[in-house]
Amino acid sequence: MLAHEDSRIQDRKLILWARFHPEFSRNVLIPEIEENSMQYHVDPQLVDNFRKCRNAENCLYFLHGYAYADIPAGQEYDLMMRINKGKIEEDSIMRCKATVLCFFSEFRTQPIAYAWHGYHADCLIQFRDGIPDMIQELYEINQKKPIEIRQEICLCSDDTLKAIINSSPTANQ
């Protein structure tokens, strides 16, 4: 277990691999989460939080990459950018206020209190000022089948981006 607060600041980012099509979310993902929550006796507080958020405005469900730490639900991010082969595309950096409303286990999808360090899973993210166009570049999940990661999008804070830039090998050149 690695708490968010104990992680290196340059690692505090959430990498998005794919987005769920809203119709797939409504017809497949949400009913599956509801069913698994009942079957596996998920903490009622987590289920209540999910039910309050599941259809919130300016929200989408995503598959995120491997978590740098145990990321708590409610985590907020300030920036969005494309990642190409592990590198930030600096011309893509944009201000984007986003909040992770819920995290979900990938297997037997159900609400969890936080994204588990070292695992990839699903999440529900709300964008304060509307869903950015860049999100459309992600692979769209519209059926249950293996995904193809075509584009990665990173969410992070201003401080995290500064730390990433300062820690890069070309930062002092």
pTM of the model as a whole: 0.92
Cα dihedral sign for 153, 92, 161, 101?
negative
Contact in structure between 27 and 90 (CB atoms under 8 Å): no
Q: What is the pLDDT of residue 172?
A: 40
Q: What share of the chain is helix, strand, coil (3-state, %, to 5)?
A: 30, 35, 35
- Residue 146 pLDDT > 70, yes or no? yes
Give residue 32's pLDDT band: very low, low, confident or very high (50, 70, 90): very high
Q: Read off the pLDDT of residues 79-98 as tens digits, 9 standing for 90 and up.
A: 999 999 889 999 999 999 99
Rounded to an integer, the average pLDDT of 31-49 is 97
Q: What is the pLDDT of residue 11?
A: 87
Better-scored residue on pLDDT, 169 or 105: 105
- Calpha distance 71→125 (Å, rounded): 13
Q: Can you tell me whether residue 122 is helix, strand or coil?
A: strand
Q: Read off the pLDDT of residues 70-80 as tens digits, 9 standing for 90 and up.
A: 899 999 999 99
SS3 per-residue string spanning 78-118: EEEEEEECCEECHHHCEEEEEEEEEEECCCCCCEECEECEC
